[in-house]
Amino acid sequence: MVLAMTAGSALAADPVAVLTEIRHGRGEVLVKYAGQADWQRPQPLLALHPGDQVRSDGDARAVVVFTGGGGTRTVTAASGPLAIAAPTAATGSDRGRALVGSVAAFLLGRRPETTYRSLSVRSLQAPPVILAPRRTRVLPGPLTFEWGGPAQARYTVRVLGPSGGVHWEGTDLPRAPLAYPASAPALQPGARYAWELITPGRPAQRAEFEVLAGDAAARIRAGLAQLAPAGAGQSPNTLAVLRAGFLFSEGLHGDARRELLAAIARDGREPGLHVVLAQVYDAMGLAELAAEAHERATALAREGAR
C-alpha cells in the first residue's frame, strides 16, 4: 500500500502535487495522465505529475495540494479541468504556503511499498494493546493514555521515568482514556519515558514516548496555527490530512492519529483520511489497525468507483 499512487506512464518527472480529497457525489472526479488519452477515476492520495489533468463534473469535487508554493486548488465542474504544472517556489514571507508545500512533499515521499495483510479472521476478544502514546513524540502539557482490551478487565498503568524507575502508577483502572493526573510528578520536556499496561493473566504491554523540548514544541504549535481553518472556503478533510501529515512528519504519531480520528468521526467517507491513518498506525507498530484502516480506504474507493 502506498500513500500516493501513480500511473506508470507518468513517472518521467517527479510528482508535484497530491490529490487529497475526492468527492464524487452525483458526478465524478477524473484524471488524465500526461501522455495518455483516456480519463480515469483516481485512487485516494494520488500523486500528480506535470502534464496530468484533473476534472470534475456534476457536483463532484476534488482538492489538489501542490509542493513548493503552489498552494491548494479545488476542482469543480465550474472551475474546469486543472492542468498540473510545476509549482513556483514559495516566498520567504509566504510561510503558510511553504508549510503546505512541505507537507505535500512529505505525503508524496511516503512512497515505499508497505503490504497490509488482509485480516479475514479477527479475535472476538481482542487482547490488551497500547494505543497511545506509542512510538511517538508528544507536546508538553496534558497527556492521555489510551489502550484496547476486554471491557470487563481492570488495568494498571505504570509510567517509567528516564532512569527506568517508576514515575507514577495507577491501579484498578477501567478500559477508558486516562488523563495523566495533574497531581502526579511532572513530565519533563526533552525527556524520554516509557509506560506499561498491566492486566492480570496477560503479558504486560510497554511503549515509549518523548516529551518535546520547549523550542521544538513552540515550532510545531506555530505550524499547527498556520494550518488552522482560513475561512469559509477551507476544506475540512484536506485540512485534516495536512495537519495530520505535518504532525506525522514531526514524529507526533499520536497527535496525527487523533487528528485523523476526529476528521473521520465528522466525515468518514473520505478514503484519503483512512489511507493516512493506515500509514500512521503502521509507523506506530499497530499492524492490525493499519490493515483495518487500509481495508476501509479500499472499500470506500471502490464504492466511489461505481
The Cα-based distances of 46 to 23, 32, 86, 199, 216 in angstroms read: 14, 12, 16, 42, 31
Looking at residue 252, what is its pLDDT?
98
> CA 91, 97, 98, 103: dihedral to nearest 10 degrees?
-160
Predicted local distance difference test score (pLDDT) of residue 122: 54
For position 13, what pLDDT does the model report?
72
Burial of 141 (0-12, 13-18, 19+ CB in 10 A): exposed
What is the reported pLDDT for 292?
95
Residues 105 and 143 in one domain: no
Report the C-alpha gap between 100 and 195 in whole angstroms: 34
Query: If residue 32 lies in a helix (H) or strand (E), which one and from where to where?
Result: strand 29-32
* Domain end among 211, 245, 266: 211
47-99 tens-digit pLDDT: 999 999 999 999 999 999 999 888 899 999 999 999 999 877 766 557 788 89
Beta bridge partners of 83: 53
Please check whether residues 17 and 90 belong to one and the same domain. Answer: yes
Predicted local distance difference test score (pLDDT) of residue 93:
57
12 & 98 share domain: yes
Per-residue pLDDT tens for 113-124?
Answer: 566 666 555 555
Domain end residue (candidates: 149, 184, 211): 211
User: Of 47, 79, 109, at which residue does a domain stop?
Assistant: 109
CB 237 within 8 A of CB 20: yes
- What's the total number of domains in the chain? 2
DSSP state, residue 6: -
What range does the domain containing 64 cover?
A: 8-109
Is the full-model pTM beyond 0.75?
yes
Residues of the chain with pLDDT under 70: 1-12, 90-93, 111-125, 230-234, 304-306
Indicate whether 87 and 172 sit together in one domain: no
Sheet of 46-48: strands edge to edge? 46-48, 17-23, 61-66, 72-75
